[in-house]
Amino acid sequence: MSEKKKVCMVCGKPSEVSICDVCKAQIQGEAIDKKQKIEREVRIGPEVEKEKKKQKR
Ligand SMILES: [Zn+2]
């Protein structure tokens, strides 16, 4: 039992690397989605600051 089968740790399909190209692309796509979400939150940030200033007055 010395033979170790290499499989993708994401989908479990036989792969020479720990994460196959398909899953890698999916993970990178998700990462981009998350980045875009963060950028949206940052854009909302200044508006929230304005609201805070309004409440102070
Ligand atoms: Zn995979």
Report how far ligand 1's centroid is from the alpha carbon of 26 (Å). 9
Higher per-residue confidence, 44 vs 40: 40
**pLDDT classification of 3: cutoffs 50, 70, 90:** low
Confidence of residue 22 (pLDDT cuts 50, 70, 90): very high
Angle, vertex CA 31, rays to CA 28 and CA 32, nearest 5: 90
Quote the ligand 1 centre to 25 CA distance (angstroms): 9
Question: 14 - beta bridge partners?
Answer: 7
| CA–centroid distance, residue 5 to ligand 1 (Å) | 14
Q: Please give the distance, rounded to the nearest whole angstrom, from the Cα atom of residue 31 to the centre of ligand 1.
A: 16
Ligand 1 geometric centre to CA of 18 (Å) = 8
Give, as one character, the DSSP assignment of residue 4.
-
